[in-house]
């Protein structure tokens, strides 16, 4: 993750809904990402929704809550199910975060702006 984080805003964290070990690998990835100074917006993505799921909804919800992940999609790359919706949501998240960052920068620049001194004739 460290090699790829420059200018990253949103991270799609993809795991295999049919592989019980897959979510453990996501845990390792997120643990590594936490060690960077950068804060990411995560979208959890369960892939292979066209096959039988090996995770319960409670398992996934607990994982989301443990990592403070708000957005979750189940997709199928094979059937293209929910892929467009996922990418649209990711784009919305990027725009939202960019707008928040711009607003914060504007507020900070207003705070740092020195007061002009009035001159008398």
Beta bridge partners of 43: 12, 71
How many helices (DSSP H) and strands (DSSP E) are in the chain? Answer: 3, 3
Query: Would you say 41 and 8 are in contact if contact means Cβ atoms under 8 Å apart?
Result: no
pLDDT for 116 = 58
Put the strands of the sheet holding 41-47 in their side by side order: 10-16, 41-47, 71-74
Structural domain boundaries in the chain? 2-95
> pTM, whole model, 2 decimals?
0.78
CATH superfamily of 2-95: P-loop containing nucleotide triphosphate hydrolases (3.40.50.300)
Give which of 50, 13, 55 is closest to 32, Cα–Cα: 13
Number of neighbouring beta carbons within 10 Å of residue 97 = 15
Residuewise pLDDT in 10s, the chain (121 residues):
555 666 778 889 999 999 989 999 999 988 888 887 777 889 999 999 999 999 999 999 999 999 999 999 999 999 999 999 999 999 999 999 888 877 777 666 655 555 556 566 5
């Amino acid at each position: 993750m460290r090699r790829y984080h420059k200018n990253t805003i949103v991270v799609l964290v993809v795991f295999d809904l049919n592989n019980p070990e897959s979510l453990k690998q996501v845990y390792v990835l997120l643990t590594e990402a936490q060690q960077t100074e950068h804060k990411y917006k995560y979208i959890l993505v369960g892939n292979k929704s066209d096959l039988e799921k090996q995770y319960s909804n409670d398992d996934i919800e607990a994982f989301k809550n443990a990592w403070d992940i708000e957005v979750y999609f189940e997709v199928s790359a094979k059937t293209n199910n929910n892929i467009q919706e996922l990418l649209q949501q990711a784009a919305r998240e990027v725009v939202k975060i960019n707008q928040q960052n711009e607003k914060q920068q504007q507020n900070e620049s207003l705070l740092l702006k020195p007061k002009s001194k009035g001159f008398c004739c």
